[in-house]
């Protein structure tokens, strides 16, 4: 079990109070469609003002200013991806130019054998670039990244290992829920090349994740460990969550989004069933607190830190599920979450802020990135709004 400091516990209570105890219960945020439209407009204005001065990859904020990673870390795809979304909304050629310049800086990562996050890196950036421009350099680079990703596949356990270089025995049997978001890069590669090897690995990894991560109540752990030599399951664990038996809200969102995507690519009902179980588990929490707490089972709930990025990802997943299933509960909850983020988390009242969405949490347990802005929080907030306001164009851009 993770021990959290007194400072963070008290800070979490203060943050919850700052969000107003969330007078948003039952999905009754007072934002509405006009406010969401204004939120999207604000995002584009903010990017138009800030993006020309950024030549590296935003990682998180410190005192409301972006701090950067030169290599892109695991988040590098979200900045060019966000610029592509701004271009989609505004048709401003400035955003296309900046998106292309940023995406090209990821080129050395195509052959990176030290990370499973090649989907995060290359799907929002290079795959979207290919869909919007038709230029084959983006397609070919994304396929090259897929070739690197499938080298992480463990044939005995039928999973893609999460962390560490493929030749490093440390973490060789570690699987995390986040990897569900990296699978769509493999489906893209199979579709473009006609080679089923990529999608076959994606499907097997998804089945392994469904079998071992999904609990009877629809919650998930962050980590599941396997014996890398035999593939035998060892058991659940966590790094980002409160404990191996808790439910880290951003991880739950990755799972919802990822399994919905795997269903879309395969048409296999087993994956939709998992996605809906994950979604149904979080709906009661979101009715009370539309901006999710960082871990749904934090013992300090409801007076703990929120994670607006988890909310934005969850909103995308719920809107996707609503589109597929016709279940209006998912859409209504997604809109409630977006209303709450728009009403309580945007940086509209700050003259310093360089990001769009505040009140994100990167790693609560390690006391890292608390009450900050995160590039994926901004990215998925804008993606969710475009699902509402430009559904056809967004579908073409990101493959919905």
Residues assigned a catalytic role = 117, 178
If we measure between CA atoms, which residue out of 98, 57, 99, 55 comes closest to residue 74? Answer: 57
| Cis ω for the linkage preceding 302 (within 30 of 0) | yes
If we measure between CA atoms, which residue out of 385, 399, 398, 400 comes closest to residue 90? Answer: 385
Q: Rounded distance, CA 323 to CA 389, Å?
A: 14
What the block records as the tokens of 75 is: 């988040």
Residue that has been written with the tokens 């699978």 in this structure: 183
The distance from CA 206 to its chain's CA centroid, rounded to whole angstroms, is 17
Per the document, the length of the chain is: 400
If we measure between CA atoms, which residue out of 38, 24, 21 comes closest to residue 336? Answer: 24
Q: Rounded distance, CA 47 to CA 179, Å?
A: 28
What the block records as the tokens of 10 is: 């008290």
If we measure between CA atoms, which residue out of 253, 318, 355, 291 comes closest to residue 22? Answer: 291
Q: Rounded distance, CA 207 to CA 80, Å?
A: 31
The distance from CA 193 to its chain's CA centroid, rounded to whole angstroms, is 26
If we measure between CA atoms, which residue out of 261, 289, 109, 102 comes closest to residue 182? Answer: 261
Q: At residue 57, what are phi and psi to the nearest 5 degrees? A: -110, 115
Q: At residue 58, what are phi and psi to the nearest 5 degrees? A: -60, 135
Residue that has been written with the tokens 């209006």 in this structure: 328
Q: Rounded distance, CA 358 to CA 341, Å?
A: 9
The distance from CA 70 to its chain's CA centroid, rounded to whole angstroms, is 21
The distance from CA 267 to its chain's CA centroid, rounded to whole angstroms, is 22
């Amino acid at each position: 079990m993770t021990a959290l400091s007194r400072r963070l516990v008290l800070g979490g209570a203060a943050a919850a109070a700052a969000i107003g105890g969330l007078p948003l219960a039952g999905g009754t945020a007072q934002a509405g469609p006009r406010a969401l439209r204004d939120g999207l407009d604000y995002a584009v204005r903010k990017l138009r003002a800030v993006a020309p001065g950024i030549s590296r990859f935003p990682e998180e904020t410190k005192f409301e200013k972006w701090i950067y990673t030169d290599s892109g870390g695991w988040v590098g795809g979200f900045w060019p991806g966000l610029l592509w979304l701004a271009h989609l909304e505004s048709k401003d050629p400035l955003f296309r130019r900046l998106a292309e310049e940023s995406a090209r800086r990821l080129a050395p990562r195509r052959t990176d054998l030290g990370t499973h996050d090649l989907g995060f890196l290359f799907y929002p950036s290079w795959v979207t670039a290919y869909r919007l421009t038709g230029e084959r350099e983006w397609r070919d680079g994304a396929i090259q990244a897929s070739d690197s990703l499938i080298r992480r596949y463990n044939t005995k356990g039928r999973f893609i290992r999460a962390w560490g270089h493929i030749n490093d025995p440390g973490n060789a049997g570690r699987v995390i829920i986040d990897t569900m978001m990296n699978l769509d890069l493999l489906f893209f590669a199979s579709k473009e090349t006609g080679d089923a090897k990529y999608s076959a690995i994606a499907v097997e990894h998804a089945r392994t994740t469904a079998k071992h991560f999904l609990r009877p109540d629809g919650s998930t752990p962050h980590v599941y460990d396997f014996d890398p030599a035999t593939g035998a399951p060892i058991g659940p664990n966590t790094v980002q969550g409160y404990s191996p038996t808790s439910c880290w809200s951003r991880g739950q969102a990755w799972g919802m989004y990822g399994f919905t995507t795997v269903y879309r690519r395969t048409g296999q009902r087993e994956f939709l069933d998992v996605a809906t179980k994950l979604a149904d588990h979080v709906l009661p929490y979101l009715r009370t607190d539309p901006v999710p707490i960082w871990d749904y089972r934090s013992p300090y709930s409801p007076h703990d830190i929120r994670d607006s990025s988890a909310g934005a990802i969850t909103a995308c997943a719920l809107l996707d599920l609503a589109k597929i299933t016709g279940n209006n509960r998912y859409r209504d909850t997604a809109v409630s979450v977006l209303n709450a983020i728009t009403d309580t988390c945007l940086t509209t009242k700050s003259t310093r802020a360089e990001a769009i969405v505040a009140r994100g949490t990167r790693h609560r347990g390690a006391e890292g990135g608390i009450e900050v802005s995160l590039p994926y929080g901004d990215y998925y907030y804008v993606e969710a709004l475009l699902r509402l306001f430009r559904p056809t164009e967004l579908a073409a851009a990101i493959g919905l």
